[in-house]
Chain A
């Protein structure tokens, strides 16, 4: 996709987006609602025409083709299954419309039903199925014509947590087995991190950062990305020196730490550094402490304990401790403690 722009009246839903999605890739568009990710998806499907820009599939422009002429299928957010048809008829609909022979349709439908594990449900009306089963019918229906690209518009948002988790694994499995390119839209960062090969984080119609889940999480380039994905601590710092792809920054506490920075930028002067809560360790104040603060609050979450610390300069800072042992965490509110950082965990943001 090149320089895609989409306007709705005076509202610019998608602003100059350029994306290259590799084949067989699980690509995720991640962003808050209203960021333009669904509009982008609808343009790939053909339901919306870009105001400007082009969409290429295997080198051929498809932006002007109607949806029924694109080898692209969609799994809709609400599934949009045909309520007057059986499971098998729903799955076979695309092939039937393509005019495939009956024997081939029957065989593919049978394969699809096995693939999504709905054996024995072929003759049921889709309205008789549970949410998770409907979800799988929607998947099978979109996969049956073997599209080049499968678009998924928040397909898991209507499912409960447990089902969502198992469907995440299922989706990843289906993508591997079919070898089809998946373009997945979600506002759920965990979903994006779990399944994707690459993620594009969007806000206000623009792509903020593209990268692997690890890059997006550990090396956020902008404040928006760092803030939207997971929890994070923002620290102000000053760049001391830059060598290669590492910089040394001086924190407000006076400690100097190494930090990474986004490619194609040269950090200097005052910068914002982010540190993920789980990359920091709370310990008694010692020479290894880079920061110092008082415990403001302790939140116990079962697997983890969150220590909300207020640093000496007043900045809030959170430390996530895994509850490796049972029992209370051993700290009290108001206690002063030092914070140690693992190597290579600080990241400088682009301004």
Chain B
């Protein structure tokens, strides 16, 4: 049986394609089952009517989507903006942004410190950074509560030293939420930043000093532009979970300082409005998507073409 070179290469090419599909199959199946599938279910649910005791009624309805942004008066059907939802969205976005900024402020020096240690001690520092991941986030949230509550470590220490007469109330506030989220998400900023700074050529910093740059200019004009990939990755890794954070605002923010995560949970729990919960979830995904697009595009533009 004679095969022409063209046929042979065609056979090889087909085999090649098949083996590529086979190799990527596990990943594709996982994405379909664990990623796309559930998301589709959420989208479908957002277009259904709420059942009486939770769950959904299988009839098409846009009521849930209507309720995301607007609210209809029970008595006279006047339509107004859903202020409660909007303010929670806005607050969540603000808190997530501040958390991200705080993580950069604390994470950058930490990552820089680790990256400039001798190679054998770096492993220890990185290990220390990852230790908090061993503990459940809920338990860590309660641990923070123990630190900042009125009878907590900080207040008793300050009172013991006689610096304050009465405890400073810190719990159940945006401050408490920010402390909690910054603490919990800090490693997600430190690790990608460390990876970037580790690759930084420190001779470039010497070169900048040699060319009369001040310490501030070395940081802003040489270090930051060069570690931008890590900065972007870290910011994304912190911003997304911070925006959809649920446990931290629940434990440290008390009942009154809601974030989107709590609002969504409410719809599936006491609210018994699954379609509204689903549509709020999809809205959150859309917000994250646009925020990331906006951020990545801006970040890469201001940093020239590098990274």
| Dominant SS among interface residues on chain B | helix
Considering only CB atoms, which chain A residue lies closest to B206 in the complex?
A47
Per-residue A-contact encoding for B191-226, CB less than 8 Å = 1, 0 else = 000000000010110111111111001000110011
B226 & A83 in contact (Cβ 8 Å cutoff): yes
Considering only CB atoms, which chain A residue lies closest to B215 in the complex?
A68
Residues of A within 8 A of B305 (CB): 84, 125
Q: In the complex the two chains form, what is the Cα distance from A239 to B307 in whole Å?
A: 70
B303 & A84 in contact (Cβ 8 Å cutoff): yes
Per-residue B-contact encoding for A66-98, CB less than 8 Å = 1, 0 else = 111100111010101111110000000110011
Q: Give which listed residue, A80, A84, A98, A142, contacts B206 with CB less than 8 A.
A: A80
A76 & B306 in contact (Cβ 8 Å cutoff): no
Q: Give which listed residue, B201, B208, B209, contacts A66 with CB less than 8 A.
A: B209
Q: Number of residue pairs across A and B with beta carbons under 8 Å? A: 69
Q: How far is the CB of A128 from chain B (nearest CB, A)?
A: 11
| B5 close to chain A: CB less than 8 A | no
Q: How far is the CB of A151 from chain B (nearest CB, A)?
A: 9
Q: How far is the CB of B227 from chain A (nearest CB, A)?
A: 11
Residues facing B in A36-64 (CB within 8 A) are 45-47
| A141 close to chain B: CB less than 8 A | yes
A84 & B225 in contact (Cβ 8 Å cutoff): yes
A76 & B212 in contact (Cβ 8 Å cutoff): no
A98 & B203 in contact (Cβ 8 Å cutoff): no
Considering only CB atoms, which chain A residue lies closest to B207 in the complex?
A80
A68 & B306 in contact (Cβ 8 Å cutoff): no
Residues of A within 8 A of B162 (CB): none
Q: How far is the CB of B279 from chain A (nearest CB, A)?
A: 43
Report if A84-B209 is in contact (Cβ < 8 Å); known contacts: A78-B203, A97-B217: no
Q: How far is the CB of B205 from chain A (nearest CB, A)?
A: 9
| B304 close to chain A: CB less than 8 A | yes
A145 & B225 in contact (Cβ 8 Å cutoff): no
Residues facing A in B223-258 (CB within 8 A) are 225-226
B306 & A145 in contact (Cβ 8 Å cutoff): no
Residues of B within 8 A of A73 (CB): 210-211
Report if A68-B209 is in contact (Cβ < 8 Å); known contacts: A78-B203, A84-B303, A97-B214: yes
Q: In the complex the two chains form, what is the Cα distance from A141 to B226 in whole Å?
A: 19
Considering only CB atoms, which chain B residue lies closest to A78 in the complex?
B203
Report if A68-B214 is in contact (Cβ < 8 Å); known contacts: A82-B222, A83-B306, A125-B305: yes
A141 & B304 in contact (Cβ 8 Å cutoff): no
Residues of B within 8 A of A68 (CB): 209-214
B213 & A74 in contact (Cβ 8 Å cutoff): no
A94 & B306 in contact (Cβ 8 Å cutoff): no
28 residue pairs A–B, Cβ–Cβ below 8 Å: A45-B210, A47-B206, A47-B209, A66-B209, A67-B210, A68-B210, A68-B212, A69-B212, A73-B210, A74-B210, A80-B207, A81-B207, A82-B204, A82-B207, A82-B208, A83-B226, A84-B303, A84-B304, A84-B305, A84-B306, A84-B307, A85-B304, A93-B208, A93-B213, A97-B208, A97-B212, A97-B217, A141-B211
